[in-house]
Chain A
Amino acid sequence: MNRRRRTDLLIDLGLGIFGLLMLTPLIMLVANAFKTPEEMLSWPPTLIPRDPTLDNLTSVLNETPLLSWIGNSLAFALLSTLAIVATSGIAGYIVAKFPFRTINIVFALFLATAIVPFEVYMIPLYFQVKQLGLLNTVPGLLVGYLVMSFGIFLIRQNVLASIPDELIEAARIDGGGEMWIFWHIVLPLLRGPLAALAVLAFFQAWTAFAWPMIVATKRSAYTIEVGLALFQTGYTVDLGRLSAASACVLVPSVLAFVLLRRNFVQGVAATGMKE
C-alpha cells in the first residue's frame, strides 16, 4: 500500500516537472514581452521581469497593424472552420450512408488529395487566385482551406461507428426528408466529432504560413503568422517586439482551446463511441 503510494507520488512528480518544462517556453515568451532589451540578453535569464515595461507592447501596437493582422487571421480561421465543418459533415455523412459505387470512387478521390502535399499545388493555386483578383483578400486566403480530406474521413468514421442505419430508416418511415434527417438526427449526433474537427480546422488556418504569405502581398493584408515573421529579418531578430506580438497572438488560441477542450479531447479520443 505504502509502496504504491510512493510510486504514485513519483509519477505525479515526474509528470509535474514535465508539465512545467512544457510550460516554460510559454512563460518565458510572455515574460520577455515585458522585459527591457538589456534584461532580455542578460545571463542567467529571469522568469519574472525585474523591471517590467510596456514599451514593447505599445511599440508593436503603434508601429505595426497587429490588430488588423489578428483580425485577418480571425476572419480567415473562422470562415475556414465553418466551411470545413460544413463540407466534412455533409460529405462524411453521404460517403458513409449512401455507399453507391460512384460515391466510393469520390471518397477515394477525397483521400487521394491528402497524399498530395499542399506545397505541390500551391503555386498553380496562387495563379488562379491572382486571375480571380482575390490576392490580398480573405476569400483569396480561403481558397484551399474550404475542404479538409481528413475531416471528411473523421466524420465518415464517426457516422459509421455511431449512427446505425435503422436510425435513419426509422426517421424516413416517420416521415423525414433527407435534409430534415441530416439536420435533426445526424448533425446533433455528430456534435462531438464536429467540435473536434472545428478545433483542428481553426488551428490549421490560424497557424497557416506559406499560403497566406504568398496570397497576401500587402502589409495590411497579412495574417498574424506572416506578420510575426516580419520581426525577424535575415540578420536581426527584434526579440522584445516579437515576444510582445507573440504574447498577443497567444490569447485567442488559448481561449479557443480552453473553451473547446472537452469536445476536442472527447472527439479525437473516443471518435464517437457512445453508449
Chain B
Amino acid sequence: MANVQIRDLRKSFGPVETIHGVSIDVPDGAFVALVGPSGCGKSTILRLIAGLEEISGGTVSIGGKVINEVEPKHRDIAMVFQNYALYPHMTVAENMGFSMRLLGHSKAERRAAVEKAAEVLGLTEYLDRYPKQLSGGQRQRVAMGRAIVRQPQVFLFDEPLSNLDAQLRVQMRAELKALHARLKVTTLYVTHDQIEAMTMADQIVVMKDGHVIQAGPPLEIYDSPADTFVARFVGSPAMNLLSAELADGGVHIAGRRWCDAPTDRRAVQLGVRPEHLVLDPEGVPLDVDNVDPTGSETMVLGRIAGQQVTLLLRQRVAVSPGDQLTVSADPAHLHLFDPDSGRRLIPGDG
C-alpha cells in the first residue's frame, strides 16, 4: 500500500488543455472520491494515474516514487471500469487470474488467490461461468475480484456502479465500503453521483472544468461549501440560493432579516439547505408550487419573494399547490456567497 500524490497535473489534447494544474493528496489506505459533473476531467485524472493517457505536465507519485514515465503494468495499480471490461472469452476464474498469469505465477498459486478473492466477493460458485452468464452486479464483483487478486498498491475505480440499477447500486456501495475497510488499500474512486461520494469516501475532491474546487471530508464540504457550485452540487435536493438585499447590517429577503451582513458588501447570495428551512409562524411567506410526499419526508417546491426554493420537511404536512406557508431558518445554518465570483463569504468577515 502507498499514498498517491498528484502535483500540478496537466493534460492537453492537442492545443486544448482539459486538466489545469490539479493537486490531490491521497493518504495511505484512504478512500478518496473524485466527484464532479460529466466532462469535468475526473476520469481523465484516473486514466493519467493508470498510465492510459500521457501526462502533459506535473507529476504523479505512488509511494513517493514519480511514475510519470512508468508503464501501466509497472505502476502496481488495479483499475475497475464502468463497463467492467471483463474478457468475454474467459471464465470468471480466468478473468480474475489473468494478471497473475501474466506475472508468471503457477496454476496452483493462481487458483488459490482466485478462490480467496472469490470467497470474499461471494463468487465461488460462479468461477467456471462466462461473463455473459452473469448479472450486472456479479460482473461488477468479478471486475473487483480481478483487482483484488493483483494485491495492488492502489485501486482505481471509474464510475463502477453507474451501470447498475438503483437498488443494486446501494447494495454494492455497502459492499465496496466493507471491502475497503477490510483490505485498506488506497483507493481513488471517480463518480458523478455525489451521494456515492458522500457515503463511501473519507475525502471528497470536487472538480469542475479541470480544476479542483474543494477537497475535504464529506461533511466538511457539505457544511461549508467553498462556492456556489459545490453548494449546489453536493447535497440532494440541492441547496437553495437566493439573492438578498443588505440593509442596516443585516441580510434581508422578503422583508425579513435573516442574519448579520458582512460589512463592506452591497449584495450577497444567501444559501440555505432544503432541510434547514423550517415552518415558523413568524417567518416569511412561501408560495407552494408543488408537493412531493415520499412517506418519511415531504418535499415542497415553492417561491419566496419570487425566487425558487425547495423545502424538505421531516414530517407530513397537509399542504397543496397554491397554499402559502411561512418559513425561516437558523442563522447558524445559512451560507453567504459573493454574487459575482460565487466564493463563500464567512459571515461578518467580508
Contacts and interface: CB of A to CB of B under 8 A. Distances in A.
Contact of B81 (A166, A175, A180, A275): A166
Contacts, number: 53
B102 interface: yes
Interface stretch (B83-91, B167-175, B234-242, B297-305): B83-91
Interface string A203-223: 000000000000000000000
A71 interface: no
A100 to B, nearest CB: 13
Contact of A180 (B52, B88, B99, B102): B102
B83 A173 contact: no
Contacts of A188: 89
A93 to B, nearest CB: 15
Interface stretch (B70-78, B111-119, B323-331): B70-78
Contact of B99 (A166, A175, A189, A274): A175
Contacts of A171: 87, 98
- A interface: dominant SS: helix
- Among A167, A180, A188, the most chain B Cβ lie within 10 Å of the Cβ of A167
Size category of the A interface is 10 to 19
Interface string A47-79: 000000000000000000000000000000000
Nearest to A163: B88
A171 B85 CA distance: 9
Given A172-B72, A173-B77, A174-B98, A189 B50 contact: no
A172 B88 contact: no
A217 to B, nearest CB: 47
Contacts of A172: 51-52, 72-73
Given A173-B50, A174-B98, A175-B103, A167 B87 contact: yes
Nearest to A274: B88
B53 to A, nearest CB: 10
A270 to B, nearest CB: 15
- Among B75, B98, B132, the most chain A Cβ lie within 10 Å of the Cβ of B98
Interface string A145-175: 0000000000000000000101101111111
A111 interface: no
A188 to B, nearest CB: 5
B309 interface: no
A185 interface: yes
B47 to A, nearest CB: 8
Contact of B79 (A167, A173, A176, A275): A173
A275 B51 CA distance: 29
A174 B99 contact: yes
A172 B75 CA distance: 11
B102 A176 contact: yes
B103 A170 contact: no
A189 B89 CA distance: 7
Interface of B: 50-52, 72-73, 75, 77-79, 81-83, 85, 87-89, 98-99, 102-103, 132, 146, 150
25 contacts: A166-B83, A166-B85, A169-B50, A169-B72, A169-B79, A169-B81, A170-B79, A170-B81, A170-B85, A170-B87, A171-B98, A172-B51, A172-B73, A173-B73, A173-B75, A173-B78, A173-B79, A174-B99, A174-B146, A174-B150, A175-B103, A176-B102, A180-B102, A188-B89, A275-B132
Interface of A: 164, 166-167, 169-176, 180, 185, 188-189, 274-275
